[in-house]
Amino acid sequence: MTSVTVDLSGEHLTLVTSNSRRRFHAIWLRDNAGDPETRAPGNGQRLIAVRDIPADTRIDDADLKGNLLEVRFAPEGKVVGYDLGWLEAHAYDTDQPRQRGCTARSVEVWDAQLMGNLPVGDYMELSRNDAALSQWLGLVTKYGFGKVVNGPIEDGALFKIVDLFGYVRETNYGRHFDVRTEVNPTNLAFTGLGLQAHTDNPYRDPVPTLQVLYCLESSAAGGENMVVDGFAAAKRLREENEAYFDVLADHCARFEYASATGVCLTSRRPMIELAPDGELIAVRFNNRSLSAITDVPFDKMATYYAAYRRFGEIIDDTAMEITFRLNPGEAFLVDNTRVLHARKGYSGEGTRWLQGCYADKDGLRSTYDALCHAQAL
């Protein structure tokens, strides 16, 4: 049995159903009205600004009509209907226990134990079958990375992975970059050296939120890839030592990439970035491009470095990482705001050639949500 009551001032109403009790403010309801004078019927965009809503808006009356809550607002005299399902899905009068370092509901943190259950998609299936694509994109959203197998072995094939869900982000490295040993490398990635787990390009503002690495040749010994969940590492750091977590979250690090060719990229952001409610929103970790840290007060610098060291040790702990070898035609995709990637060194006979590019996760999320909506119809 659902019921609605309006408080005496008309400032809010209370909607009670068999399993919830939610309050909604008059101003919130009015701003979220879906009638054609408030929102354009074609594209759903809001036609009014908040200044068009009277500051003294209140609820004059509220009534339940089947699955609809009908509200009359004063002083406008406007009557608006709200779907009860929509109200429950958008309710804000809920228990929202938030602590620093929490993660969104869509996220599942992981460690080496995920190995038996890798989010892998078959390229042919992903490109032909929306259900397979949506399932894989869902796993990428949950775990922050995914592998693709059975892709074409051809120059530029990595763009076909991005085409599955979004758009390439071009940078000073071009639309893509070749990861193979070079004589005069502009980046240590273009050598056979091992690379500590890192997020890419923390010196960019904004940082590319997705990275694809696609294998075209891999006959050299070594060169295996590792991925580490930066959110799991940040949570572990907090469990071990809250002060370490706080010092990395509360102060900005600085990152830099400068080359001889007129590129000078700098950024100032924390290694562990939180939303105002404490939710983890990004991890930045890259020993190669960390520049001098100048935003930590003198009396906190020693703790900052101890925290940075411990965060690195957690990231390097093999219990946190998943290791795999990419074969030609295989690729992996990481959420570059969350999952770090690494490479073992390689040398000797044979070749190793990967192509890499960046993209952004708004496109991936949009494709995933649109596929989910289409499947729900």
Determine, following the binding rule CB under 6 A, whether residue 204 of this chain makes contact with ligand AKG: no
User: Can you tell me which of 179, 248, 296, 339 binds ligand AKG, judged by CB under 6 A?
Assistant: 179
Judged by CB, which is closer to ligand AKG: 236, or 341? Answer: 341
* Cα angle, residue 355 at apex, residues 352 and 357 outer, rounded to 5°: 155
Single out the residue of 57, 134, 199, 225 in contact with ligand AKG (rule: CB under 6 A): 225
Minimum CB distance to ligand AKG smaller for 10 or for 151 = 151
The least CB distance from residue 214 to ligand AKG, in Å, is: 10
Determine, following the binding rule CB under 6 A, whether residue 213 of this chain makes contact with ligand AKG: yes
**By the rule CB under 6 A, 189 interacts with ligand AKG:** yes
Contact 200, 169 (CB under 8 A): no
Nearest to 214 by CA among 146, 168, 157: 157
Using rule CB under 6 A, residue 356 touches ligand AKG? yes
Number of residues that bind ligand AKG (CB under 6 A): 10
State which of residues 80, 140, 168, 195 lies at the interface with ligand AKG (CB under 6 A).
195
Q: Write the CA distances from 333 to 225, 321, 357, 367, integer angstroms.
A: 12, 15, 10, 15
For 83, other C-beta atoms within 10 Å of its C-beta total 12
161 counts as binding ligand AKG under rule CB under 6 A: no
Which residues are registered as beta bridge partners of 342?
Answer: 226
CB of 299 to ligand AKG, least distance (A): 35
Quick check: 354 binds ligand AKG (CB under 6 A)?
Answer: yes
- Read off the tokens for 263: 């590129």
* Contact with ligand AKG (CB under 6 A) among 341, 358, 359, 364: 341
Q: Cβ(22)–Cβ(14) under 8 Å? A: yes
Q: Which is nearer to ligand AKG, 34 or 345 (CB)?
A: 345
Query: Tokens 């030592």 correspond to what residue?
Result: 241
200 forms part of the interface with ligand AKG (CB under 6 A): yes
In sequence order, which residues have a C-beta less than 8 Å from that of residue 376 and are 6 or more positions away? none
Side chain identity, residue 36: P
Shorter beta-carbon distance to ligand AKG: residue 26 or 226: 226
Enclosing H/E stretch for 253: strand 253-258
For ligand AKG, give the closer residue by CB, 91 or 149.
149
Question: Phi and psi at residue 223, in whole multiples of 5°?
Answer: 80, 15
CA 245, chain centre distance (Å): 20
Min separation Cβ 322 and ligand AKG, Å: 14
Distance of CA 87 to the CA centre of its chain: 26
List contacts with ligand AKG (CB under 6 A).
179, 189, 195, 200, 213, 225, 341, 343, 354, 356
